[in-house]
């Protein structure tokens, strides 16, 4: 690698799955030059992950993909139904329901969507490659990584077998749990996956993907339900009901549900492989017919028939049938020097909470702005001004924050898994009676139905070097609300789309939350003055003002009406807007949640990081000036 026989860029990303593509998309929006190396020729055709939580939806929204969410990518998952017993049926009354069709998690989105991963990745790649700062290279295999004090170097083989070298400030492995970055480079340095939760889980499951076609009186004339007046679509709905089922069968736990758009008729079925069974054998057609197909057979008595009714097997087309080892593991370290790990390369999840892709997204977005900060600091460094903050301190704060949120996500996933996989008859009996009794207490019932959202927005516990001010409300994820331009009837928007609109240059953004509209002119002056204190790190022209009212009233006369001023929009306004097409209307939406989180005072000045976490929140100019001085020091590595 001597001489100049290499390319130079700021960041290299190894792997262009969902995590790598998300990291690339955000780096592009932050004007960071980077190269993405992907060993495959194109996007995977295998829908591996199928569930994405509201954080994941919000982060996709952040790169302009929301418009495709319900038209191309997926559908709201509505309810998770936990059903018990040993009978192989999907119609058993659930002993527990979690409603993820509501909008009460603080993001403005539903709790979960069931998506088609290839389609999701297609739109992510479109978002990343639309940036002039991104180069995506397919059919490229990384085979060597090394570092010196200031750079990382990687060597890879291209499609023609030629060897190339890239010199970059940072290298990110988003190449999965068996990828080169961790397995071949970092594991010899002592970085490895280890048990991530005290409730250890490690079992093999078979994962099935089906494409279902509709039987018709022409294709299946002997199917008995035609004589009872059922249509092909009604037959499909009977055997493939809406809502995901967690089948808590002590003999063989399983999970079942449809994913993608309703017209796609895609189905996922997963079941556990017992300790005395072979995963590869259980994934074969004969075993699938034995284990899974009974769930798609109904008793004839249900329809007044003497024989059972089974959905035609030739209408079920298996797209995938593979065993997988499901475990809860996380790396002991997520980076070493200038090489970091993201997504499945850093942690793996069991399948009970839909957190795999979403956690990779959180890793990527949280890392993206730190890489932008570090590349800016190092690019501007000179013999007269070298950043004092070591890049390892910034990456350490990233991994510490992410591990906190990972612990929370894992806890919710493990809790779901314990319910699904419980085999002890006494514990099952006590669980069912406990939940039955709680069902008569409305407050407990609503808490159960919220699932993992009941704890509210994630709030980090402070440790040295973390980029937020805990004494001023920092470290909490800022809720997203619906807004509309104040003073006129305008389209409803997500607040993130105003706060982080494309074209803004400042890394951190200022949100001014105003409870008394008469304070608007004063708040604008404060923000203008603060721009001087920030030495250009914050921009008054980019500040976003939100008035705490859902009533559209005239804007008070001021000397400057150029800055964006919004009011809160109601759930009813959102339901009538194009943003609500294809998704449920917002139930239990709280338009005042943002104000509740950022705190009191007639005016609240909130500094928000690109990953949607609050750096600090103040209600007066003096405190704000002190916070901004500290922020400038952090951003400049002083």
> Using one digit for the tens of pLDDT, what is the confidence trace for 149-202?
999 999 999 988 899 999 999 999 999 989 999 999 999 999 998 876 655 567
DSSP 557-592: P-S---S-EEEEPPHHHHHTSGGGTTS---SS--TT
Question: Which of these, 156, 205, 212, lies nearest to 180 by C-alpha position?
Answer: 156
**Is-contact 558 522, C-beta < 8 A?**
no
- Is the separation of the CB atoms in 544 and 499 below 8 Å? yes
Residue 589 pLDDT > 60, yes or no?
A: yes
**What's the CATH superfamily of 1-47+116-196+330-415?**
FAD/NAD(P)-binding domain (3.50.50.60)
Percent of the chain with pLDDT over 90: 70
**Mean pLDDT confidence for 425-434:** 78
Question: Of the given ranges (208-217, 222-231, 548-557, 597-606), which has the lowest mean pLDDT?
Answer: 548-557
Q: In Å, how far are 50, 99, 519, 535 from 591, measured between CA atoms?
A: 30, 20, 20, 34
50-55+66-113+202-327+424-455 has CATH 3.30.9 classification: yes
Distances (CA, A) of 189 to 25, 182, 186, 330: 30, 9, 5, 16
| From 195-204, 240-249, 513-522, the region with the lowest mean pLDDT | 195-204
The answer to which of 130-134, 239-243, 382-386, 456-460 has the lowest mean pLDDT is 382-386
First to last CA, the chain: 33
- The predicted pLDDT at position 526 comes to 94
- Tell me the domain boundaries of the chain: 1-47+116-196+330-415, 50-55+66-113+202-327+424-455, 457-636
Predicted pLDDT at 1: 45
Predicted TM-score (pTM) of this structure: 0.93
Give the count of beta carbons closer than 10 Å to the beta carbon of residue 465: 16
Kindly tell me the burial class for residue 101, based on how many C-beta atoms sit within 10 Å of its own C-beta (0-12, 13-18, 19 or more): middle
The answer, yes or no, to whether residue 382 has pLDDT greater than 70, is no
Is the pLDDT at 495 greater than 70? The verdict is: yes
Residue 557 has pLDDT above 70, yes or no: no
Q: What is the CATH number of domain 457-636?
A: 3.40.30
Compute the distance between CA of residue 212 and CA of residue 157 in angstroms, rounded to an integer. Answer: 40
């Amino acid at each position: 690698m001597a001489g100049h026989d290499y390319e130079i860029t700021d960041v290299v990303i190894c792997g262009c799955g969902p995590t790598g593509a998300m990291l690339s998309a955000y780096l592009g929006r932050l004007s960071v030059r980077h190269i993405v190396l992907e060993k495959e020729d194109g996007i995977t055709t295998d829908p591996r992950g199928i569930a994405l939580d509201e954080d994941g939806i919000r982060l996709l929204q952040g790169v302009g993909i929301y418009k495709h969410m319900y038209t191309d990518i997926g559908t709201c998952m509505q309810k998770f139904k936990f059903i018990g017993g040993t009978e192989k049926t999907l119609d058993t009354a659930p002993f527990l329901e979690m409603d993820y069709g509501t909008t009460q998690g603080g993001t403005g989105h539903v709790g979960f969507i069931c998506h088609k991963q290839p389609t999701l990745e297609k739109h992510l790649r479109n978002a990343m490659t639309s940036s002039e700062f991104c180069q995506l290279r397919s059919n490229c295999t990384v085979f060597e990584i090394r570092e010196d004090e200031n750079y990382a170097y990687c060597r890879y083989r291209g499609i023609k077998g030629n060897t190339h070298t890239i010199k970059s400030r940072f290298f990110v492995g988003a190449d999965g749990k068996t990828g080169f970055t961790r397995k071949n480079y970092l594991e010899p340095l002592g970085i490895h996956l280890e048990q991530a939760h005290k409730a250890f889980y490690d079992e093999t499951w078979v994962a099935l993907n089906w494409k279902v076609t509709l039987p018709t009186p022409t294709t299946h004339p002997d199917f008995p339900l035609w004589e009872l007046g059922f249509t092909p679509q009604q037959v499909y709905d009977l055997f493939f009901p809406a809502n995901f089922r967690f089948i808590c069968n002590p003999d063989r736990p399983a999970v079942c549900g449809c994913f993608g758009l309703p017209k796609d008729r895609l189905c996922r079925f997963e079941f556990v492989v017992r300790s005395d069974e072979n995963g590869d054998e259980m994934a074969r057609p004969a075993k699938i017919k034995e284990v899974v197909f009974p769930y798609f057979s109904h008793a004839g008595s249900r329809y007044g028939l003497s024989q059972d009714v089974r959905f035609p097997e030739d209408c079920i087309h298996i797209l995938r049938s593979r065993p997988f080892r499901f475990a809860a593991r996380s790396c002991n370290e997520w980076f070493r020097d200038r090489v970091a790990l993201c997504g499945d390369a850093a942690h793996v999840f069991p399948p009970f909470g839909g957190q795999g892709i979403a956690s990779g997204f959180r890793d990527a977005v949280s890392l993206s702005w730190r890489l932008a900060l570090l590349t800016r600091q190092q690019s501007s460094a000179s013999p007269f001004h070298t950043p004092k903050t070591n890049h390892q301190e910034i990456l350490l704060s990233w991994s510490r924050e992410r591990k906190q949120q990972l612990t929370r996500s894992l806890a919710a996933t493990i809790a779901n898994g314990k319910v699904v996989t419980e085999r002890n008859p006494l514990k099952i009996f006590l669980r069912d009676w406990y939940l039955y009794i709680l069902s008569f207490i409305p407050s407990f019932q609503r808490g159960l139905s919220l699932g993992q959202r009941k704890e509210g927005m994630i709030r980090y516990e402070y440790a040295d070097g973390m980029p937020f001010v805990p004494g001023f409300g920092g470290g909490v994820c800022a809720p997203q609300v619906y807004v509309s331009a104040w003073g006129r009837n305008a389209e409803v928007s997500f607040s993130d789309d105003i706060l982080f609109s494309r074209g803004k240059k400042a890394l951190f953004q200022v949100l001014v939350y105003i409870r008394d509209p008469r304070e608007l002119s004063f708040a604008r002056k404060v923000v203008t003055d603060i721009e001087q204190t920030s030495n250009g790190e914050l921009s008054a022209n980019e500040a976003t003002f939100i008035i705490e009212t859902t009533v559209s009233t005239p804007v008070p006369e001021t000397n400057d009406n150029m800055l964006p001023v919004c009011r809160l929009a109601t759930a009813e306004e959102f339901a009538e807007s194009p943003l609500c097409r294809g998704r449920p209307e917002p139930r239990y939406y709280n338009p005042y949640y943002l104000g509740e989180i950022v705190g009191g005072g007639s005016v609240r000045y909130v500094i928000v990081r690109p990953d949607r976490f609050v750096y600090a929140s103040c209600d007066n100019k003096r405190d704000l000036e002190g916070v901004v001085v500290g922020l400038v020091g952090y951003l400049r590595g002083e």
